A and B are shown apart, each in its own frame.
Chain A
Amino acid sequence: MKRFGILGLVLGLLAAPVAQAQVVVKKGRVRVSVEAIKGPSGTEAASVLRGDLARSGAIEVVPADQAEYVVGGTAVAGAVSAVVAAAADRKEVLNETYTKAWRRATHELADEIVKRLTGQIGIATTRVVFVSKRTGNKELYLMDLDGGNVQQFTKDASISVGPNLSRDGSMLAYTSYKSGYPDVYVIELASGKRTRVAAFPGLNSDPAFSPDGRTLALTLSKDGNPEIYHMGVAGGTPTRLTRTRGTEASPCFSPDGQRLVYSSDDRGAPQLYVQPLRGGAERLNTGVLYATEPSWSPDGKQIAFNARVSGIFQIYVHDIATSKSRSLTSGGVDSEDPAWCRDSRHLVVSRNGKLALLDSLTGESYVLENGFGDSTEPSCTQ
């Protein structure tokens, strides 16, 4: 584990993988070749599929002569058909047609291949919401995990920040200044219906859905200090959970919905605290002096966060069972705002204005090229 961590640092530091490290990291991965995919969308689909499979961390994309499995198929605008066969005996392990827009169909194919060949959870169908100031104002955008299929989601010409997707991906909560005040809104993604759910005096910000999507944790200052509250997703009377003279921020639920992790600077620089909904906060001993923006992994085992070390933001992961924290990034570039993917292995982070996918197991990272230079605050569908 320790060696993996150091290896991760090395890989994180270098743009080009180190040959020696590559051997160790790739060991145990299923070797898959994506043959030419036929049809008008075939070339693009093959490229997207190779990227999806490589980012899974479970598959190594290789030339046909080194492959254990070979993928072939046809892609048209509205459907992708694929056959996956063992290289040795040509025995089919998957033969499916996905009838939807080729890009989405290809992501679904990638997740199915990962599941069938490795038993791991695929992440290619993940959608990511993020913030960009491209128009001159901070607005919310949605994209596929590979950076494709970008859609501008808000057009408020105000400040739209702190987005959080519900676990089932049906709702999006965020903070908007469109009334002039920082208010919390919830949007139903299917209908586009937007509801203002928190507009109390002072700050209303950083909403985080509970796992069942029924409640939100958020930061409110109405009682005279920025504190963490818990309220129904349709609004209503918030229950106050913290009471300090410091600055509380960035709540995030545990996957069982029973606890929250958040940051507080009540004793100086911000630190992380874990608190059951019934009360009784405990400081998380992360070993770093400045810790913010916590994100609890879907399997409940780890909390990722921002650590400011020597003035640079790095991504750290705290293991709950061992109470040990380790860094996933290093070097002189800020990495911030970690958001877990559904496999509890990969994180989407903001790195110097680009979104990147970090593999918490190997330390490998991929830039998720979305054509934007200032992407921040990602949140992922589960």
Chain B
Amino acid sequence: MKRLDLSLSCVIGAAVALALSGCKSAQPYAGVDGATGGEVDYTAMQSLPERGNFNPDTDVDYGTLRAPDMNCGIIFFETDSSTIGGSERAKLEKVAGWMAKHPDKQILVAGHTDERGSLGYNRSLGERRSIAVRDYLLGLGAGRDRVYTHSYGEERPAAQGASESAYAKNRRAEIGIVVAKR
């Protein structure tokens, strides 16, 4: 435990030192957990694209990828986790396939959490989930300027109530197609 603490602070410290020294090259992730095994091998943080000319609240079509013939518009997560689970990867391959067929379209990934975490943490966690989906899609060949991220934290639950089944439905990232002008 102690050794892990130390190594972690060192890693963070070194990473921060690098960040502050103005090093421009992409830094590898400094993660130490083993939760990413089997994920697409993305090793550099990718800056997010500039905001598009659309409103995430009103200009996103969530229906197309969610329709029965696609069924790939909602990615679910474990508690406090932003790891893309094995059961969710086929959905993202479908999304990537759809994007390849519609090269003029952009998508928005809206991250959500259940209501159990702290409000501030959940805002960040929703974004982390959105970015995990984005990174996975980039790993499958999606262009970096075609995937926008967004977080609603716990503010827009899909299911009401304080049950485990409601929580499971709320820990999600919703993938929608940007419908407004570019």
Contacts and interface: CB of A to CB of B under 8 A. Distances in A.
A227 to B, nearest CB: 9
A53 interface: no
B124 A203 contact: yes
Nearest to B144: A224
* Max chain B C-beta neighbours (<10 A), residue from A219, A240, A249, A313: A249
A266 B8 contact: yes
Nearest to B134: A224
B33 interface: yes
Contacts, number: 186
B15 interface: yes
A162 B124 CA distance: 12
Nearest to B155: A159
Interface string A299-319: 000000010000101000000
B61 to A, nearest CB: 15
B118 A202 contact: no
Interface residues of A, number: 60
A249 B46 contact: no
Interface stretch (A15-23, A73-81, A110-118, A277-285): A277-285
Contact of B120 (A177, A202, A246, A250): A250
* Max chain B C-beta neighbours (<10 A), residue from A267, A279, A313: A279
Contacts of B56: 180-181
A206 interface: yes
A223 B45 contact: yes
A275 B54 CA distance: 37
Contacts of A266: 8, 12, 30-33
Nearest to B148: A201
B150 interface: yes
A293 to B, nearest CB: 5
Given A175-B123, A223-B45, A281-B9, 18 more contacts: A159-B152, A180-B55, A202-B127, A205-B124, A223-B48, A225-B128, A245-B29, A250-B120, A250-B124, A265-B121, A266-B8, A273-B12, A280-B9, A280-B12, A281-B12, A281-B13, A337-B118, A376-B119
